[in-house]
Amino acid sequence: MAYNWEGDLILQDCAIDKKRYIIGSRRPITTDLREWISFGDNIIMKEILSDLREKRGLPATKKPGDFDRRAMVIWRLIARQIQYVHDTTKYKKDDFWLFPPETWQLRKGDCEDGSFLLASLLIASGISPFCVRVVLGMAFDGSGKSLGGHCWPVYKNEAGIWCILESTLDAVPSRMPEADELAEEGRPFRYEPLYCFNGYHLWEIAPGGVAKAEGRVLKAYLKIRRKKVNMRMAHK
């Protein structure tokens, strides 16, 4: 199924609860969703990119193909350095979301943690934030059975095609897979996007476009999304 991966309807309420907590307590802090990918000036992120330029050939120029090469270098870094850990084995608190520098320091995280880090690095590398989204949605198996909630980054390549850069992989493919291909019915692991965001906006994504967008409330989605995809189980 084709989706508008840029988002159909801007949602004004970007506040979410129970993803960060006051230190030493279980009291949740309300947080703006967009803050998870707003780390362009962070010294840790700058050091990661500097190291990639020196050791992994991360392009610093803007020649044809350089932005796609940046995306591939950063995607490989996340696959190589960040260990996927399901929430139930990571924290006692439910679905605690790490900020990108925290994920990098721990070298582990779940689908949100890896996605926030990957998207933040793409943007910090000089890729336009409007060519990057983090998507919140659901995953399904080939029979249409829900596997639970999932989170993944998408990147608009230099040909103008949105691609999924799955953040939980141990190794990345030779090319960036097109997002619409991975959302087709009948796939053994199918992505279904519901929301996407960058550091500026939160959008609803609706099959069929803006006309079918409902202005769904993100909090309601997160409530029903308590079952999250365990990527190790999903790919067995």
Q: Give the range with max mean pLDDT: 7-16, 47-56, 201-210.
A: 47-56
Tokens 């103008």 found at:
160
Confidence at residue 209, expressed as pLDDT on a 0 to 100 scale: 65
- Percent of the chain scored above 90 by pLDDT? 70
Alpha carbon distance 138, 37 (integer Å): 21
pLDDT exceeds 70 at position 121: yes
What are the C-alpha distances in Å from 226 to residues 37, 41, 95, 221? 22, 33, 8, 9
In whole angstroms, what is the distance from residue 218 CA to residue 225 CA?
A: 10
pLDDT of residue 204: 94
Q: Does domain 9-234 have CATH number 3.30.499.10?
A: no
The residue ranges of every structural domain in the chain are 9-234
Angle formed at CA 197 by CA 191 and CA 203, multiple of 5 degrees = 85
